[in-house]
Amino acid sequence: MRVGINPAKLNSKIEKKYHHRIIIPVFVPNFEGYFQNLFEVIKVCIESASLTQHGRSAITVVDNASCQEVKTWLAEKLKEGVIETLTTHAENIGKVDAILGAARASREDLITLTDCDILFKANWQEEIESIFNSFEKAGSVAPFPVARHMYYHTSSTQKAVLVKKLDFSFQATDEDDQIRSVYESYGWNYQKSYDGLLPIVSSKGHQAVMGSGHQVITIRREVFFRMPQAPSFIKIGSGSELTWIDQPINEFGYWRLSTVKNWVSHMGNNLTENENVQFLALRKSTKFPSLITLPENEGKKINKTEHRVWSKLFKVLKDTRPAAPKLTTQHESL
């Protein structure tokens, strides 16, 4: 039997507080082998995200069945307000399923998906948000540039260049050392003559780099509902991020972009002294920007043949560079 009125019904409207959500999946089942030092990396990742986030953003951590020590620390960060939302799974449901579930439950216009080994630098959010404000069909933006990603599911961006919605040029970077460190985190070799030339697109006086990976990426909220709805049932890898995240962004006509400068570091599973110094130098952001409300852009699916045609045309008409030098991986160089 109900007695009285639920007070929530008397003031049922919920006001929008944030426009940017950061989702970090965490999986540390033990402290052995690969996971031996990962917990220290995760602490820096979450704390650096908290220090550098502005007042219109919130952090969600998805604990994908970590050990008790990690669970206890995450619960403490929730109490301290470092983490705004903590989701805990008793069993590992897989990386993609964990982050997409959290993303689709979020209400913010922009949602950042990030690996738990990323060190965030001051102003990374502001730089990403300025690209979304300047590029009307930006579907995703990564906070670091990689020239080799310009042909990784970017045909919609290439089409925009060819139909003159975007200006395009290759420009030399002045951050060779920082971008080289990103390449090294992928296990790739960096060749300045090729990888130091960034494929720059321009709109409304703002520049971005064509293409991105998925290590850390900010995506418009509505794009998550264009991605496959069926669960992946994949723990990690096996093309899951390509199929469930990267491909749909491009297929529905959104632009995959990156910042021109590097705003993060990839720590891997071992925190270096230099990374620790960078982290200790961070100070809490006091920025509190106006709320962003992006106009909805539902996107229209483009067939695979059209994607191939636009990409080939772009390569012929716009890419005048010599053939790409061989990309050597760590495995090949051992």
Q: What is the pLDDT of residues 76-111, one digit of tens each?
A: 999 999 999 999 999 999 999 999 999 999 999 999
Residue 148 lies in a domain: yes
Statement: residue 31 has pLDDT above 60:
yes
Statement: residue 330 has pLDDT above 60:
no
**CB environment 204-238: b (16+ within 10 A), e (fewer):** eeebbbbbbbbbbbbbbbbbbebbeeeebebeeee
Confidence bin at 331 (pLDDT 50/70/90): very low
For range 255-282, the mean pLDDT: 95
pLDDT mean across residues, the chain: 91
Q: Distances in Å between the alpha carbon of 256 and those of 23, 101, 121, 205?
A: 19, 22, 21, 18
Residue 283 lies in a domain: no
For tokens 């403490």, name the residue.
76
Secondary structure class of 317 (helix, strand, coil): helix
Question: What total of structural domains would you count in the chain?
Answer: 1
Statement: residue 333 has pLDDT above 60:
no
Q: Distances in Å between the alpha carbon of 64 and those of 91, 93, 149, 289, 326?
A: 7, 7, 29, 32, 37
Contact, 212 vs 153, CB < 8 A?
no
- pLDDT at residue 86, rounded to an integer: 98
- pLDDT at residue 10, rounded to an integer: 66
The model's pLDDT over 272-288, given as tens digits with 9 standing for 90+, comes to: 999 999 999 999 999 99
Residue 100 lies in a domain: yes
Contact, 257 vs 144, CB < 8 A?
no
- pLDDT at residue 104, rounded to an integer: 95
Residue 291 lies in a domain: no
Q: Distances in Å between the alpha carbon of 81 and those of 60, 74, 76, 132, 320?
A: 11, 11, 9, 27, 51
Residue 76 domain boundaries: 16-270+299-333
Residue 287 lies in a domain: no
- pLDDT at residue 334, rounded to an integer: 28
Nearest-5° angle of CA 146, CA 214, CA 295?
100
DSSP state of 243: I
Residue 280 lies in a domain: no
Report the sign of the C-alpha dihedral through residues 135, 138, 141, 146, in that order: negative
Q: Which CATH number is 226's domain given?
A: 3.90.550.10
- pLDDT at residue 187, rounded to an integer: 82
Whole-angstrom distance, CA of residue 12 vs CA of residue 35: 45
Whole-angstrom distance, CA of residue 102 vs CA of residue 105: 5
- pLDDT at residue 8, rounded to an integer: 67
Higher pLDDT, 213 or 323: 213
For range 44-73, the mean pLDDT: 97
> End-to-end distance of the chain based on CA atoms, in angstroms?
72
Statement: residue 162 has pLDDT above 70:
yes
- Which pTM value belongs to this model? 0.92
Residue 294 lies in a domain: no
Whole-angstrom distance, CA of residue 303 vs CA of residue 75: 46
Whole-angstrom distance, CA of residue 178 vs CA of residue 143: 12
Residue type for 116, please?
Answer: C
Residue type for 150, please?
Answer: M
Statement: residue 34 has pLDDT above 70:
yes
- pLDDT at residue 329, rounded to an integer: 64
For range 1-25, the mean pLDDT: 82
Confidence bin at 157 (pLDDT 50/70/90): very high
The model's pLDDT over 228-244, given as tens digits with 9 standing for 90+, comes to: 888 888 888 778 888 88
Statement: residue 45 has pLDDT above 90:
yes
- pLDDT at residue 129, rounded to an integer: 97
Residue 80 lies in a domain: yes
- Return the structure tokens found at 166: 């975007």
- pLDDT at residue 298, rounded to an integer: 74
